[in-house]
Amino acid sequence: MDRFIKSMKAFPFKGMLVIWGIFMLMGAVLFAERSGIHYEGSKSQSAYLSENQIVTEKEAVKELKKTCLVIMDSQQESSQLAWEQFERIFQDMKVGTDVADLKTDTLPNLDSYETVVVLMSDLEPLKEGIIEISNWVKSGGSAMFAMAPQKDTYASLIEQKLGIISSGYENSFVDSIYFDSDFLIGGGKSYAITDGFDSARQVELSEKAQVYAWAKEPGGIPLIWENTYGDGKFVVDNLGLYEKAVRGFYAASYSLLTDIGVYPVINGSTFYLDDFPSPVPSGDGTYVKRDYGTSIQEFYSNIWWPDMLNLASKYGLKYTGVMIENYEDKTDGEITKQTDNERFQYFGNMVLHQGGELGYHGYNHQPLCLGDTDYGDVLPYKTWKNEKAMESAMSELMRFGKKMFPGTQMSVYVPPSNVLSEQGRKMLAQKFPQIKTIASNYFAGECAYTQEFEVADDGMIEQPRIVSGASWDAYSKLTVFSELNMHYVTTHFLHPDDVMDEDRGAKLGWSKLYKDFQNEIESLYKVVPNIRRLTGSEMAGAVQRYAILTINQNRTDTGLELELGNFHNQAYVMIRLNEGEPGKVKGGKLEHLTGNLYLLEATSAKVSIEV
């Protein structure tokens, strides 16, 4: 405590209430530890559904009515790339789809569908189907061209109906995209596109076309727009980007097609602290010494952790810390038990008292991979001698966690460096049923265990982390923005030893990293102030409910009725009212997000909304 008091004299005043709160929390934890008292978390895992409530995601969606026809051509590489993303988008939005692959299929009767989505830039395989789609829209249908058509004879048959009055043969370079503030959560600003390319058609639109996104700034090349045609509507995406980081933009575009667009979302933000608690990292403390003139151990106790508590207090964060017992690299199954317990209990109990949660990271920092995994020159890790060695290591980690934090239920596992082999994943599910969720990586990477927000066939809940670090780059900011509109979720992880790794910004110094991190969090919650702050297990429970939720909607004379399948105590639904405004709600409540976009918190399986 003396070190903490001295260090606070040396640093800027951060608000007496926050500092006093940190003193009180530290004092309470120190008193509890010195009195032999341990923090005991809830013995129940109320965040999770009970066994008799669980159905698989596949079972939940198999009865979905096929309301959308997707037209694609697997002979076109870009069409295949687009479908890879849209298949997942529709699965997550719970949109029942039929697919017509024009390589082998003919166009079915469009009258059987509410919406049509065309995933082709070369429209030649459609032939007279272009006219058929146009006539169907004119009679009241809704079609989305998610890829801007190439400039050719077939495109000329439909361009004016799409709202295009003139177009060029060349594409234009897109390195940023500006969204209308009423269209998307977080809109009203420009987002940089990493590795931009000539992806957008040069087009001029008619005055009646409604534009929602432009390249660079309003008035630039239109990237997303809608155009009424007869009694129906066309929506066009002129982005040319087909990857995870922009799924939310396509989901929002699809929600424009019908009078009322609805799809389930998660509603949650979660912040992970990897390698926390852990032994004192043995990395390079050059920049800690440079900026603070102190040891690594003192830095974490007196500066880094009080700063993290300050953020938690100011923004209502609930950290999920995931433990590393030691940093040795033995993988032969021989166990060395951690004996330096005071640091673990101190920081771990602080996380728990703060309202957070603890989970598992590793006995050591060696991923659960056997000898058939080749790390190459990418990662400095060893593989485990056999599955028994891996199992022994996990058993020791759980023994240690139970000893340090008796009565605290831990159910979250985070793979070291987001690396987890198929054998390791299988072992966790079969041998360690107390692990109910894995939090790894949203994006593919070298040896990364990549995830979607879903419940796996074996019941394991997958909850990927979207962004990491204190200073978010342009790609991260774009993804965070997109995912707020796709799943209404944000997940993040930070390593305490970021301040010792130049690749993660150590040279900038913790003061700059802390300021950047605070700015990112403040920007996030300015856009979504009421998004739920969740721990890892709470996020897993939210994903579990979201993944199996289905929605049947019926229009009535007075508005909208929703029937929610597999509803358990609460659910969240994104609603876009393209026609009308909401009135009285029964079975839930609406929160206005932006423009005509609302978040429904359903408290009943049947919800009615006056429109």
pLDDT for 235-259, tens place per residue?
999 999 999 999 999 999 999 999 9
pLDDT attached to residue 5: 35
> CB neighbours (10 Å) of residue 439?
26
Cβ atoms of 507 and 500 closer than 8 Å = no
Residues 325-343 have a mean pLDDT of 94
Total-model pTM: 0.92
E-strand stretches of 120-163:
142-145
Residues 364-376 have a mean pLDDT of 96
Amino acid at residue number 178: Y
% the chain with pLDDT above 70: 92
4: Cα within 13 Å, side-chain hemisphere: 15
Kindly indicate the confidence band of residue 31, based on its pLDDT and cuts at 50, 70 and 90: very low
Distance (Å, rounded) from C-alpha 439 to C-alpha 468?
13
Kindly indicate the confidence band of residue 45, based on its pLDDT and cuts at 50, 70 and 90: low
| Residue range 290-314, pLDDT digits in tens | 999 999 999 999 999 999 999 999 9
pLDDT attached to residue 57: 78
Kindly indicate the confidence band of residue 22, based on its pLDDT and cuts at 50, 70 and 90: very low
Q: Which of 605, 553, 548 is CA-nearest to residue 576?
A: 553
Residues 488-507 have a mean pLDDT of 92
pLDDT attached to residue 61: 79
- Position 281 pLDDT exceeds 90: no
Buried b (16+ CB within 10 A) or exposed e, 27-43: eebeeebeeeebbebee
Q: φ, ψ for residue 572 (rounded to 5)?
A: -125, 135
Radius of gyration for the alpha carbons in the chain, expressed in angstroms and rounded = 26
Distance (Å, rounded) from C-alpha 108 to C-alpha 68?
12
Q: Residue 66: beta bridge partners?
A: 96
pLDDT attached to residue 168: 87
DSSP string, 333-366: S--------HHHHHHHHHHHHTT-EEEEEESSS-
Residue 195's Cβ-count burial label (10 Å; 0-12, 13-18, 19+) is: exposed
pLDDT attached to residue 12: 41
| Residue range 60-87, pLDDT digits in tens | 878 789 999 999 999 999 999 999 999 9
Residue 71's Cβ-count burial label (10 Å; 0-12, 13-18, 19+) is: buried
Helix (H) or strand (E) holding 213: strand 210-215
Distance (Å, rounded) from C-alpha 241 to C-alpha 193?
10
Distance (Å, rounded) from C-alpha 213 to C-alpha 253?
10
Helix (H) or strand (E) holding 431: helix 422-431
Cβ atoms of 256 and 578 closer than 8 Å = yes
Helix (H) or strand (E) holding 307: helix 305-315
Joined together, the tokens standing for residue 365 give: 């920092």
User: What does the DSSP 8-state code read for residue 518?
Assistant: H
Distance (Å, rounded) from C-alpha 362 to C-alpha 583?
51
Average pLDDT over all residues of the chain = 91
Residue 287's Cβ-count burial label (10 Å; 0-12, 13-18, 19+) is: buried
Kindly indicate the confidence band of residue 46, based on its pLDDT and cuts at 50, 70 and 90: confident
Distance (Å, rounded) from C-alpha 449 to C-alpha 425?
9
pLDDT attached to residue 37: 40
Joined together, the tokens standing for residue 248 give: 């939310």
| Integer CA distances (angstroms), 494 to 303, 392, 462, 465, 466, in order | 16, 27, 19, 10, 12
